[in-house]
């Protein structure tokens, strides 16, 4: 899964048209590099980020979704807003990726009657404040229990289990130690819950903490993290560096 951010700050010259053109060019580059899924996001959810209003998020992501939906790669939309989910479902996207695990009012109703995949991510708190001293008794158990409960709520609402993906939510209300405890427990989590797992750790602070590198120098560390996640049973890795990750996975799989 390649990350496609459609936020004004990810394009130097700003402006709606430039953002659309830039996003499509980036998507085309990822396609050439062998991406399977393009994850389109209109709101930065990095720690401390402010929320984006609904109409602004729709303005950012919908034109990109319509431009890319027949591109050959599967399309995922990274959103926690039910209205964005509704519009994305109408546009025919393949996955809704919700960092909030479909907890917003109306989120389940927005996706229930479609057949797209749904990624349920664990997050403690909210992006604006989530990195302020996250505490757990047993992080693996608490994240697993949360995901189990969300699976029960979604399937209880009539959603087929086969549509679901789980994600421990690296960096979302977790210390570096919590993140590594979770990655080491990926296989157990997948076995416990019986739902495939998506891992997103590309360029995150857990990579910087181990390598001592700033965000723009975390590619090699992120490749190590992606391989570790796949070795632990992750079936999708959400990454910035598609070409490098595809190569790393090809060699790892050939040697496996
Ligand atoms: C994740 C995500 C992740 C899923 C972001 C960033 C922050 N969606 N959206 N999993 N992270 N499913 O990429 O640094 O880890 S935004």
Rounded average pLDDT over 56-70: 95
Taking the CA of residue 44 as reference, the ligand 1 atom at the shortest distance is 16
- In which band, very low, low, confident or very high, does the pLDDT at 220 lie, cut at 50, 70 and 90? very high
Taking the CA of residue 169 as reference, the ligand 1 atom at the shortest distance is 15
pLDDT at 14: 56
pLDDT at 13: 53
- Architecture category of domain 2-200+232-238 in CATH: Alpha-Beta Barrel (3.20)
**Among 150, 163, 174, 204, which one carries the catalytic annotation?**
204
Does the predicted TM-score (pTM) go above 0.85? Answer: yes
pLDDT digits (tens, 9 = 90+) for 118-147: 999 999 988 878 778 889 999 999 999 999
Q: CB-hemisphere CA count at 13 Å for 199?
A: 29
Q: Atom 11 (ligand 1): residue with closest C-alpha?
A: 200
Q: What is the DSSP letter of 167?
A: E
pLDDT digits (tens, 9 = 90+) for 156-203: 999 999 999 999 999 999 999 999 999 999 999 999 999 999 999 999
More confident residue, 239 or 134: 239
- Distance from C-alpha of 238 to C-alpha of 121, rounded to nearest angstrom: 13
- In which band, very low, low, confident or very high, does the pLDDT at 11 lie, cut at 50, 70 and 90? very low
Q: What is the DSSP letter of 200?
A: -
More confident residue, 251 or 129: 251
Instruction: Return the percentage of the chain with pLDDT > 90, whole number.
Output: 86
pLDDT digits (tens, 9 = 90+) for 74-116: 999 999 999 999 999 999 999 999 999 999 999 999 999 999 9
Active site residue 250: no
- Distance from C-alpha of 133 to C-alpha of 73, rounded to nearest angstrom: 38
Active site residue 204: yes
Residue 100, ligand 1, Cβ within 6 A? no
User: Coil, strand or helix: which one is 180?
Assistant: helix
DSSP labels, 43-88: S--STTPPP--HHHHHHHHHHHHHHHTTSSSEEEEE---HHHHHHH
- If you measure from the C-alpha of residue 201 to the centroid of ligand 1, how many angstroms do you get, rounded to a whole number? 7
């Amino acid at each position: 899964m390649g990350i496609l951010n459609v936020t004004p700050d990810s394009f130097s010259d700003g402006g709606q048209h430039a953002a659309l053109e830039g996003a499509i060019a980036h998507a085309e580059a990822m396609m050439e590099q062998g991406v399977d899924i393009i994850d389109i996001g209109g709101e930065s959810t990095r720690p401390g980020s402010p929320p984006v209003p609904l109409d602004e998020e729709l303005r950012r992501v919908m034109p990109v979704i319509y431009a890319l939906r027949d591109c050959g790669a599967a399309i995922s939309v990274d959103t926690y807003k039910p209205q964005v989910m509704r519009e994305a479902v109408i546009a025919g996207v393949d996955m809704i990726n919700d960092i909030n695990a479909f907890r917003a009012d109306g989120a389940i109703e927005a996706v229930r009657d479609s057949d797209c995949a749904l990624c349920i991510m664990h997050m403690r708190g909210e992006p604006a404040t989530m990195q302020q001293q996250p505490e757990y008794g047993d992080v693996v158990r608490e994240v697993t229990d949360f995901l189990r409960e969300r699976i029960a709520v979604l399937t209880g609402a009539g959603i087929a289990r086969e549509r679901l993906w789980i994600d421990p939510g690296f960096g979302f209300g977790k210390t570096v130690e919590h993140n590594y405890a979770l990655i080491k427990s990926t296989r157990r989590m997948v076995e416990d819950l019986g739902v495939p797992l998506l891992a997103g750790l590309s360029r995150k602070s857990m990579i910087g903490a181990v390598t001592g590198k700033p965000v723009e120098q975390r590619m090699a560390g992120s490749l190590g993290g992606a391989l570790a996640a796949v070795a632990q049973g992750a079936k999708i890795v959400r990454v910035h560096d598609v070409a490098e990750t595809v190569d790393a996975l090809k060699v790892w799989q050939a040697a496996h």
